[in-house]
Amino acid sequence: MITNLTRINELAKKSRETSLTNAEKVEQQVLREDYLREIRGQIENTVTNITVLDPLGSDVTPEKVRQQKNRSN
């Protein structure tokens, strides 16, 4: 689970109800950037570990994905 999601949601709720201080706005932006970085990393990891097979069972994984998989191993 993403650790900062609770705080992101708290700040979002507060911004809807009242206004955020400048420090809270900066914190919110930093937390959002961290969140997006983590999500992108998870997606990249998932895509890198995919093997694509055609109906006959042959490996047709795109070369770019194979190269990325070899770099991560």
Q: Where are the domains of the chain?
A: 5-72
**pLDDT tens, position by position, 4-54:** 899 999 999 999 999 999 999 999 999 999 999 999 999 988 988 888 899
As beta bridge partners, residue 59 has 53
Instruction: Please report, for residues 23, 32, 38, 55, the alpha-carbon distance to residue 2 in angstroms, rounded to integers and kept in the order given.
Output: 22, 11, 8, 37
Instruction: State residue 70's pLDDT score.
Output: 80
**pLDDT tens, position by position, 53-67:** 999 889 888 888 888
Instruction: State residue 49's pLDDT score.
Output: 87
The pTM (predicted TM-score) of the whole model is 0.71
